């Protein structure tokens, strides 16, 4: 696409015409509440819309505003986030709510610079709130828009490099209309989500194909080489006594959540009662769980949890699955 002003105007018209008939009806598009928009934007980082929807509704019911989130315990916040992954997002949301309550009287500042001082709020999130809550005309660059722009302008720079990011933000700003940036940015996102999809885009159905420079769009966008997947083996204990399970408060990967107690060394001949594999960022983790007898002493950060109270505490999905599986397979014998 040649970005002359006339082309830009035609591009916007074609895109917005398509958007009028094809837009996704998403709940966070029906509100101007900065809190609800912030929650949706944070949940959507690294997570698909379909996975986010049930969490979004449940979260707003439990924590309808900054004040209720700021007052909530970390335990409750992590439990509501449980299953969405990347739990630092939940902790940051709660920390941001607490700062807003103490420093800004619970009101979200309409000032972009202040927004970016809140934990977990970077350029994209601050701009998204400015656009969707306060009607500002500022550009947005997220995964869908990055892919669309990389193809429209045939950008060969890796989109996750600093030079690539600078270029994308420049292009997004150059295309932006001075009014109704909410509609325009949503239209670009929906084009990326529905037509200019990753892998093989649907160019035959694309409303802006006449503006697109990509000759081999399926090869775009280019990304930096990922560090190779690392394999880890982690061993944990399953200890149960009188319908109570021994759990450990995690201080590392799942900070603030409860996991099966970690085991240091395990004899090579020991047979695990459970084996599974789960991904975590660029790791592939083999989870081994061994039956252990109660040693009569609680270690640091450990506590007993009644099996019927497990739903009340935050447990990361891989460990929750193990517990559910073991309890369902060996209910009587183990307890
Ligand atoms: Fe994407 Fe194809 Fe449309 Fe270009 S023509 S923007 S590659 S869907």
pLDDT of 214-235, one tens digit each?
A: 999 999 999 999 888 999 999 9
Cα of 149 from ligand 1 centre, angstroms: 9
Kindly list the distances between the CA atom of residue 129 and the CA atoms of 35, 50, 91, 145, 248, in Å, as whole numbers in the listed order: 9, 21, 19, 16, 37
Query: Measured from the CB, is residue 152 less than 6 Å from ligand 1?
Result: yes
Q: What is the CATH number of the domain that holds 43?
A: 1.10.340.30
> Which ligand 1 atom sits closest to the C-alpha of 208?
3
Choosing from 199, 219, 239, the residue where a domain stops is: 219
| pLDDT number for residue 333 | 55
Q: pLDDT tens digits, residue range 277-326?
A: 999 989 999 999 999 998 888 888 999 999 999 999 999 999 999 999 99
Cβ atoms of 212 and 267 within 8 Å: the answer is: no
Cα of 37 from ligand 1 centre, angstroms: 28
| pLDDT number for residue 331 | 61
Query: Measured from the CB, is residue 148 less than 6 Å from ligand 1?
Result: yes
Choosing from 185, 219, 253, the residue where a domain stops is: 219
Q: Are residues 175 and 39 in the same domain?
A: yes
| pLDDT number for residue 21 | 98
Query: CA geometry: angle at 303 spanning 300 and 308, to 5°?
Result: 165
Q: Are residues 210 and 264 in the same domain?
A: no
Choosing from 219, 252, 285, the residue where a domain stops is: 219
Cα of 163 from ligand 1 centre, angstroms: 22
Q: How many CB atoms lie within 10 A of CB 77?
A: 23
| pLDDT number for residue 311 | 94
Q: What is the CATH number of the domain that holds 284?
A: 3.90.79.10
Query: Measured from the CB, is residue 201 less than 6 Å from ligand 1?
Result: yes
Q: Are residues 167 and 258 in the same domain?
A: no
| pLDDT number for residue 269 | 77
> Which ligand 1 atom sits closest to the C-alpha of 217?
7
Nearest CA to ligand 1 atom 4: 212
| pLDDT number for residue 115 | 79
Query: Measured from the CB, is residue 188 less than 6 Å from ligand 1?
Result: no
Is 225 a member of any domain? no
Cα of 304 from ligand 1 centre, angstroms: 55
Q: How many CB atoms lie within 10 A of CB 268?
A: 5
Q: Are residues 136 and 28 in the same domain?
A: yes
Q: Are residues 140 and 261 in the same domain?
A: no
Is 177 a member of any domain? yes
Query: Measured from the CB, is residue 214 less than 6 Å from ligand 1?
Result: yes
Query: Measured from the CB, is residue 12 less than 6 Å from ligand 1?
Result: no
Q: Are residues 246 and 279 in the same domain?
A: yes
Is 335 a member of any domain? no
Q: Are residues 59 and 151 in the same domain?
A: yes
Domain around 281:
230-329
Nearest CA to ligand 1 atom 1: 196
Stated pTM of the model? 0.90
Q: Are residues 160 and 242 in the same domain?
A: no
Our answer to whether residue 41 is catalytic in this structure is yes
Where the chain has pLDDT below 70, the residues are: 1-3, 330-335
Cα 208 to chain centroid distance, Å, stands at 29
Is 334 a member of any domain? no
Q: Are residues 52 and 95 in the same domain?
A: yes
Number of separate domains in the chain: 2
């Amino acid at each position: 696409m040649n970005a002359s002003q006339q082309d830009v105007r035609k591009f916007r018209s074609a895109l917005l015409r398509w958007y009028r008939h094809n837009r996704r009806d998403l709940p966070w598009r029906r509100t101007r509440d900065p809190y609800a928009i912030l929650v949706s934007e944070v949940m959507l980082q690294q997570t698909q819309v379909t996975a986010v929807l049930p969490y979004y509704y449940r979260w707003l019911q439990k924590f309808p505003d900054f004040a209720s989130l700021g007052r909530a315990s970390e335990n409750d916040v992590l439990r509501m986030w449980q299953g969405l992954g990347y739990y630092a997002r939940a902790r940051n949301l709660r920390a941001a709510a607490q700062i807003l309550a103490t420093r800004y009287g619970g009101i979200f500042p309409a000032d972009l610079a202040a927004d970016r001082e809140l934990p977990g709020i970077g350029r994209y999130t601050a701009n998204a709130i400015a656009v969707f809550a306060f009607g500002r005309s500022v550009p947005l660059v997220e995964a869908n828009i990055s892919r669309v722009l990389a193809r429209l302008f045939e950008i060969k720079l890796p989109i996750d490099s600093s030079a690539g990011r600078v270029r994308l933000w420049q292009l997004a700003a150059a295309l932006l209309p001075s009014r109704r940036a909410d509609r325009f940015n949503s239209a670009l996102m929906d084009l990326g989500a529905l037509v200019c999809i990753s892998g093989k885009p649907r160019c035959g159905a694309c409303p802006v194909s006449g503006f697109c420079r990509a000759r081999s769009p399926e090869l775009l966008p280019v990304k930096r080489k990922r560090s190779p997947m690392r394999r880890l083996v982690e061993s944990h204990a399953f200890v149960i006594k009188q319908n109570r399970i021994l759990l450990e408060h995690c201080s590392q990967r799942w900070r603030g959540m409860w996991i099966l107690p970690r085991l240091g060394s395990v004899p090579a001949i020991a047979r695990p009662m459970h084996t599974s594999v789960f991904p975590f960022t660029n790791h592939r983790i083999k989870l081994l769980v061994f039956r252990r007898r109660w040693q009569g002493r609680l270690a640091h950060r450990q506590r007993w949890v009644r099996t019927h109270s497990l739903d009340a505490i935050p447990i990361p999905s891989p460990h929750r699955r193990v517990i559910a599986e073991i309890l369902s397979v060996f209910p009587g014998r183990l307890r």
